[in-house]
Structure 1
């Protein structure tokens, strides 16, 4: 039996009112064709390190439509598989005036879904979500799946990944069980996206992504000291080049809109090849050299490329911020987002929207006590108490991950100021809700800035999708975040003369430590957010059910234009009646 034509995909990526981007990895050089409603669109594969990829641009679609499609590789149907138990995949375009429904979360490890995998990693909440959509099509489908970092773990590998590594190199030599090169990244992504339920879900629901530290390595760009330590190893350069190269291929390329792709130098190289203008003729375009040179430069010169992006969904704007690669680590200019990135974010933070969503893998608003501890640690690490205390602070920063927005006080205060301007109506009509959506911390919660006028400013965290903390670590995290850190944090921050935060915030829900996936929906009553987990019967571990963990309804403080009542989803979902409870699917 020959190789299956598809290694991964199809994945439904950037979708707007009239177009969709469908990504695949194939087992060999191929012509990939998407067929829907007697029309077809095609693309030839390009290669990176011997792997083959294509992104098919589907255009000329009707707004608000949901049409079944099939995908062929070299003339043979590869998707949907003929014996698939799942509903036909569809291309779901956006509709003008339709309110947004978005699912989000972060931190997902890839291992088996039987008893063993569930025992060590818990039930995959993304997979439970996929199975519910497949068996209950009356549930409204999200317009977007937003993955906020750590889609893959390059530094904490599973047994399956370690088996692959051992087959090709000595795992006792650096970097050991961690990833070394592109070939290992390609296998890691294959493990992450090949489960049949998740694969079906990603073939029919649009997705957007951003990296966090474990996509490359724990504490990635925590400080200049951390970066210098990595650069002194024999393997770091290969890791960062492979990590950014594979991220562009597997995650970032699909984030780009057609207009953004048209200005991307790498995509323009692919587009020229697709148009037959490349001197390679019918030979497959090998993008390896160009892409690795790009990745090397993106690491050394972060301002040379922007990983952040912005999407408008009717009356809701979503801004997804790179909080890892765009950092400025020089102590005198230390910032979580450099000047160019901050200027771009400044341009996107505007009023005139019903809701403004800011996706950042790292929570902007940590629990207040932990926020103070991180701000104290930053000042200590940067020398406020002298070199010895700075050395101790740096080791503490790396040991317990004190490197969120709170640990970059200049950036925190600058962004807080910009957001307050939007919330106060100084950048156009104030949105009803400004919500930071985040992950990373391996527990979930919701909190809100204390203010009586203008927009409500909230933080919603959903983490992990599948990678729970051990119970002992949960207790430590709870103490650090909500216990001793609360009274002690403010005291130590004042002791080192860290200024008070520009506003105060309080908890609305949480914390909880379940594997879960959150769903956010714009409703006539406000912004509704629900967190759900998967639960599996011991006798049937591979078919989990979904159970609600928590919910919150954020009602507008001031009047805002009501959203359209027309829901999104496949035809069956579009025709179903909307229930009275805004948090019900």
Structure 2
């Protein structure tokens, strides 16, 4: 099969005045370099440009037989690259004496169907904001599923830049992707065979899962592991995963890698799908590509099973086609804006590290431990490496390289690779925005409390594991060290990026906590679009977060989040028992492409929020934390006890259309100036705006 040379990219990654990083994935080895240009804006046009003298350094990681991941670093000859001016770049591909550019791959020029340029610009473009200017203009969002319902909100980001590509005051300078960039545990049925086949072709020999789990050689697993919908039992029983949608779960490194390539670029699709044609359910069934639980001799049950699967398959095809049609715009966006990424659970698997029991159970499973390591290696290569390449020590890269040369699962290098990734807990990073942005790792820096939590539902009383602190003491220490090492100082403004919101909509969280969570802890099968992993479910962890931000002493603090599949804005004023105060604005934008307020449960949740929104829109919610770390909502006219640890006044901010939440696919657009903050939600054919907030 003819796999395209450029599999994904180019994607602009870490950008600052002292260096620029460009990420790209290829199927062939090339010697890569890049050139940087400055456009000259004359009378509203950019017809001319000149090259900027700089050095180009490339680090290439061969991840498979036909998978080369490269980071190209540009370093200025002068002290710094120019700020607040439009810059462009081209990538040079050299093999022997031949040198190609992006134009040779049909990526430049408005006449090319898959062009990554805007307007009449001959090159992909971006700009570096002046670090002396206290303002920022950024896009942010999370939760993007290949078969998500609705239109992909990243398209709105592309169209925003297209409208303002010459106007640097209006053009967003940065994109934050805050988790669930892929759904490794929820792969659509028609994509599964593509993922499996592409994964094998990209990596080559690849790892042998049967060496790790011999039961995969037995019936029915020997066959079902390669059939659509055939992995649910394997993931639950052999890997000890808890995702209820893991029937097509990614397992090998190649499968994780192919999901990233399919999510960010149309290139790999074109190699495996003919004009967006997917095999029909009937065709796939005839070729024995679908796994069925019931045998044919169980006619009635098999017939019902086929009916259910056929309906879902057809829906997946329609949704995936819509995503595929947007990929050229998504690719163009990523090529023209510096992008920073942090994981949440679905990048690896649903419920990843949700509890100590979950983590211990999966670690003790050889297959589960291996799959998690595959997901983390893919996360590093496709996301984390470009956030801050210098944070990964040479010893880290060596272990990655040793194992990936053979993918020998019986080797010592496999064991060392696996242990390194399971124990690595420094995925947090600082992005060079203005204000500075600190990205929190709420997955691998958790602290688990072994003491039981009493849970009751009627007469049924049990003890369950306590929800974890999303970041423990050691995690906060490392995060703080990274923040100060970046040059940030107390008294400066700060952006805190937390994949899961610190302040969600209390009404929704209370509904889940009071009604859904007890059912789930009683092992009653309850499906929900929401995770029980809010900061508020562990009072000590929530308090530690507030105290940590207080110790940093930012002049203004803004928290950006995703995860919860709705958008909201919250302001809170916190007072500590030391009489110190803290003001926080929390902006949440989610999902990019995964609307979850559907069906009976979603309709009920949406109705409850709508009915109660009017009551909460113009009212403050008062609550406090006592000395046992219980977070208590104050009743009307109820005084706060003297032993409070902290107390706060929360206000939900409503959009110009009235509601306090938005549930359609959305992309956040945040504009900060020294005196005001403006937050918008970009949606299909509309912009929903929150009233500008005065910071003076």
TM, length-normalised to structure 2? 0.64
Task: Count matched residues.
Answer: 504
In the TM superposition, residue 364 of structure 1 has moved relative to its aligned partner by 0.5
Matched, 1:200 2:224: no
CA distance in 1, matches of 2:24, 2:255: 18
2:689 to 522, 540, 550: 550
Cα distance in structure 1, aligned partners of 2:163 and 2:374: 38
1:47 aligns with: 62
Q: Deviation string for 1:390-416 (max 9, x for gaps)?
A: 952898799952122112322111111
Q: Whole-Å Cα distance in 2 between the matches of residues 504 and 15 of structure 1?
A: 38
- Measured after TM superposition, the shift of residue 504 of structure 1 is 3.6
Q: Provide closer, same or farther for how the CA distance between residues 329 and 300 of structure 1 changes in structure 2, counting only shifts above 3 A.
A: farther
Aligned residues of 2:399 and 2:417 also touching (Cα < 8 A): no
Residue 561 of structure 1 corresponds to none
Secondary structure at the counterpart of residue 684 of structure 2: strand
SS of the residue 1:413 aligns to: helix
Quickly say closer, same or farther: Cα 1:292–1:24, change in 2 above 3 A: farther
Match of 1:102 in 2: 138
Whether 2:653 is the aligned partner of 1:508: answer: yes
1:532 aligns with 2:682: yes
The corresponding residue for 2:534 is 404
Match of 1:247 in 2: 379
Question: What SS does structure 1 have at the residue aligned with 2:536?
Answer: helix
1:375 Cα deviation after fit: 7.2
Question: Aligned pair in 2 of structure 1 residues 127, 288: CA closer, same or farther (>3 Å)?
Answer: farther
> What does residue 584 of structure 2 align with?
457
Residues 1:183 and 2:254 aligned together: yes
- Residues 300 and 436 of structure 1: CA distance in aligned 2, closer, same or farther (over 3 Å): same
Residue 187 of structure 1: CA displacement? 1.1
* Contact 2:156 2:667 (C-alpha < 8 Å) held by counterparts: no
Shift, 1:352, TM fit = 4.1
Question: Is the Cα contact below 8 Å between 2:21 and 2:71 reproduced in 1?
Answer: yes
SS in 2 for 1:362: coil
1:81 aligns with 2:107: yes
Matched, 1:322 2:451: no
Q: Which stretch of structure 1 is more off in the superposition, 501-510 or 26-35?
A: 501-510
Provide Cα deviations, 1:35-64, integer angstroms capped at 9, x if missing partner: 231656242532123321111110115230
Deviations 1:524-569 (A, max 9, x none): 431211111124xxxxxxxxxxx20232422115xxxxxxxxxxxx
- Following the alignment from structure 1 to structure 2, what is the Cα–Cα distance between the partners of residues 300 and 474? 35
Q: Does the residue aligned with 1:503 lie in a helix, a strand or coil?
A: strand
Cα separation, partners in 2 of 1:329 and 1:441, compared to 1, 3 Å = same
Distance in 1 separating the partners of 2:362 and 2:604: 28
Deviations along 1:361-389, one digit per CA (max 9) or x if unpaired, are: 000112234555677799x98xxxxxxx9
Deviation, 1:421, is 4.5
Distance 2:573 2:102 in 1: 53
Superposed, which structure 2 residues align to 1:76-225 within 5 Å?
76-78=100-102, 81-82=107-108, 83=112, 85=115, 86-87=117-118, 88-90=123-125, 92-98=127-133, 99-110=135-146, 121-139=149-167, 140-165=170-195, 167=197, 169-171=226-228, 172-173=230-231, 174-175=234-235, 176-194=247-265, 195-225=327-357
Following the alignment from structure 1 to structure 2, what is the Cα–Cα distance between the partners of residues 522 and 438? 16
**Cα 1:308/1:532, change in 2 over 3 Å:** same
Q: CA separation of 1:78/1:459 partners in 2, compared to 1, >3 Å: closer, same or farther?
A: same
Cα contact 2:16–2:432 (8 A) shared by 1: no
Q: Is the 8 Å Cα contact of residues 397 and 403 (structure 1) preserved in structure 2?
A: no
Determine which structure has greater relative contact order: mean sequence separation of CA pairs < 8 Å that are 6+ residues apart, divided by chain length. 1
Q: Deviations over 1:102-154 (max 9, x none)?
A: 1101111235xxxxxxxx62111111321342354245322210000000001
Quote the Cα distance in structure 1 between the aligned partners of 2:227 and 2:523. 35
CA contact (8 A) 1:375 1:408 kept: no
Structure 1 residue 62 corresponds to structure 2 residue 81: yes
What does residue range 416-565 of structure 1 map to in structure 2 within 5 Å? 416-422=546-552, 427=553, 430-431=554-555, 433-450=556-573, 456-472=583-599, 473-478=601-606, 498-500=630-632, 502-509=647-654, 510-535=660-685, 547-557=686-696
What is the root-mean-square deviation in Å for CA atoms of aligned residues? 3.9
> Structure 1 regions of 5+ residues with no counterpart?
112-119, 274-279, 382-388, 536-546, 558-585
Whether the 8 Å CA contact 2:562–2:591 is kept in 1: the answer is: yes
Distance in 2, Cα, partners of 1:202 & 1:248: 18
In structure 2, the residue matched to 1:539 is: none
CA distance in 2, matches of 1:58, 1:392: 56
Instruction: Call closer, same or farther: CA 1:456–1:328 in 2, change over 3 Å.
Output: closer
C-alpha deviation, 1:354, in angstroms: 4.6
CA contact (8 A) 1:5 1:73 kept: no
SS in 1 for 2:335: helix
| Alpha-carbon displacement from aligned partner over 1:423-451 (angstroms, at most 9, x marks no partner) | xxxx4xx51x3111000000000011145
For structure 2, the 5+ residue unaligned runs are: 37-50, 201-225, 236-246, 266-326, 452-465, 633-645, 655-659
Relative distance call for 1:21 and 1:406 in structure 2 (3 A) is same
CA distance in 2, matches of 1:53, 1:135: 32
Contact kept? 1:377, 1:397, Cα under 8 Å: no
Deviation at 1:514, TM superposition (A): 1.2
| Counterpart residue number, 2:478 | 344
Q: How does 1:300-379 map to 2 (within 5 A)?
A: 300-301=422-423, 304-314=424-434, 316-332=435-451, 334-347=468-481, 348=483, 352-371=490-509
CA shift in 2, pair 1:370/1:470, >3 Å: closer
SS of 2:384's equivalent?
helix
**Larger CA Rg, structure 1 vs 2:** 2
C-alpha displacement at 1:247, in angstroms?
Answer: 0.2
The corresponding residue for 2:29 is 29
Query: In structure 1, how many angstroms separate the alpha carbons of the residues matched to 2:387 and 2:429?
Result: 8
- Asked if the contact 2:622–2:650 (Cα under 8 Å) also holds between the matched residues in 1, the reply is no
Q: 1:147 to 1:552 in 2, by over 3 A?
A: farther
Structure 1 residues 91 and 76, CA, compared in 2 at 3 Å: closer, same or farther?
A: same
Inter-partner Cα distance in structure 2 for 1:100 and 1:291:
44
2:11 corresponds in structure 1 to 11
Q: Deviations over 1:154-207 (max 9, x none)?
A: 111124422324657234243431111111111100111102221122112100
Q: Compared with structure 1, are the counterparts of its residues 251 and 44 closer, same or farther at alpha carbon in structure 2 (3 Å cutoff)? A: closer
Q: Is the 8 A contact 2:442 2:498 kept in 1?
A: yes
Summarize the Cα distance change of 1:29–1:377 in structure 2 as closer, same or farther, 3 Å threshold: farther
Contact 1:456 1:556 in 2 (8 A): no
SS of residue matched to 1:463: coil
